[in-house]
Amino acid sequence: MPMTRDQLIALAGWYKDSGNLSADPRKKIEVVDVLENVATAKLVADWGVDFMQLTKTNGEWQIVHIVWNSHPE
């Protein structure tokens, strides 16, 4: 489902406020690959798995694309 940045921020706030987030949530990030100014990373967290594409501009990494999936029930 396509989602804007603002929609993602609202969803994250709803999830945090819902009480579903533990005090010490599981989160593990793995750098999948880096090539000069582009990278791919994987985040495994309580809420699911995110795959992120990043670019490096003026020395700063920025997320440009995220796809995610909830954990199977």
Whole-prediction pTM value?
0.70
Q: pLDDT (tens digit, 9 = 90+) per residue, 1-40?
A: 677 888 878 887 887 788 777 777 778 999 999 999 999 9
Beta bridge partners, 40, equal 33, 53
What percentage of the chain's residues is helix, strand, coil (to nearest 5)?
20, 50, 30
- Which phi and psi angles does 25 have, rounded to 5°? -65, 145
More confident residue, 70 or 56: 56
Write down the pLDDT at residue 46.
Answer: 82
Into how many domains does the chain fold?
A: 1
Structure tokens at 55: 């670019």
Q: What pLDDT was estimated at residue 12?
A: 79
Residue 59's domain spans which residues? 5-69
CATH code of 39's domain: 3.10.450.50
Collapsing DSSP states into helix, strand and coil, what is residue 5?
Answer: helix
CA distances from 66 to 19, 22, 24 (A): 24, 23, 23
